[in-house]
Amino acid sequence: MSQFIVDSSFWNLFPQAKLGVVLLKDYTLNDDYQLELTNLLKESNEKALQHLTEETFSENDVIQIYRKAFQQFKTKKGARSSIESLLKRVSNGKPVSNINPLVDIYNAASLQFALPVGAEDSDTFEGDLQLTITEGGDDFFLIGEDDNKPTLPGELCYRDDNGAVCRCLNWRDGDRTMITEKTKNAFLIIEALDPSQFESLEKALNFIEEKSKQYLGAKTQQFILDKEHTTITI
């Protein structure tokens, strides 16, 4: 079995951070819940507005946390946290809509609790999954694209033995490990970098577990990693 290992290079940058993980096993998609998931996303888009209290979008607390974090390591030009992308849509009156039942669940959690949530098909991992500062050159293909866009030296990324899984911490996922209609086992990750987010992290993890059991029939496990607890078995 593979492991998820958070390298010391991450903790050196973010010593107070906590990383939440939910593992889903043997889940199935059920079209009977489509309307309920649509309503869940609608509710979550509305709740996201409570995190956008400043007149200037970039001055909202959650945006500041991740923009400052992205200044701590090498990033692709223009790369932003996934939560910023979601909240930007809400701010612009373009609510997040249905994609896939699991994606809908974790997007709902992300919107409600103002945290970036990523998910990968854990059956696609080769060897251990690491969160680490890379020397660069890890192969990476964006979802739906054919051109290799490898990691940069000094970039913080998730990677396995076959290359990058998610670039620039939580910017964009790769095509190789993406969640699809055929996914049965998934790895979900939430990065809470500031202590002010820790309560929301626990709520988001519980939310994802509850909804994954309710709508996907998933077997679930939940973990929180910190500087003293850096490895789990996937």
pLDDT tens digits, one per residue of 144-169: 888 999 999 999 999 999 999 999 99
Looking at residue 32, its pLDDT comes to 87
Amino acid residing at 170 = N
Query: Which range is least confidently modeled, 20-24, 124-128, 139-143, 155-159?
Result: 139-143
Angle at 22 between CA 169 and CA 161, to 5 degrees: 50
Question: Which is nearest to 14 in space by CA: 170, 234, 192?
Answer: 192
- Mean pLDDT value across residues 120-139: 98
E strands of the chain, at which residues? 3-6, 18-25, 117-121, 129-133, 156-160, 163-167, 172-173, 186-192, 219-225, 231-233
Cα distances (angstroms) measured from residue 234 to each of 125, 127, 221: 10, 11, 10
> Can you list the domains of the chain with their CATH numbers?
3-233 (3.50.40.10)
Q: Would you say 106 and 215 are in contact if contact means Cβ atoms under 8 Å apart?
A: no
Looking at residue 88, its pLDDT comes to 98
pLDDT tens digits, one per residue of 9-55: 999 999 999 999 999 999 999 888 999 999 999 999 999 999 999 99
pLDDT tens digits, one per residue of 169-217: 999 999 999 999 999 999 999 999 999 999 999 999 999 999 999 999 9
CA distance 57 to 54: 6
Question: Which is nearest to 94 in space by CA: 55, 48, 39, 56?
Answer: 48
Looking at residue 100, its pLDDT comes to 94
HEC assignment per residue over 35-71: HHHHHHHHHHHHHHHHHCCCCCHHHCHHHHHHHHHHC
Q: Would you say 155 and 71 are in contact if contact means Cβ atoms under 8 Å apart?
A: no
pTM of this prediction? 0.96
Looking at residue 75, its pLDDT comes to 96
Looking at residue 209, its pLDDT comes to 99
Looking at residue 144, its pLDDT comes to 86
pLDDT at 126 over 90: yes
Q: Residue 193 has which token pair?
A: 């970098």
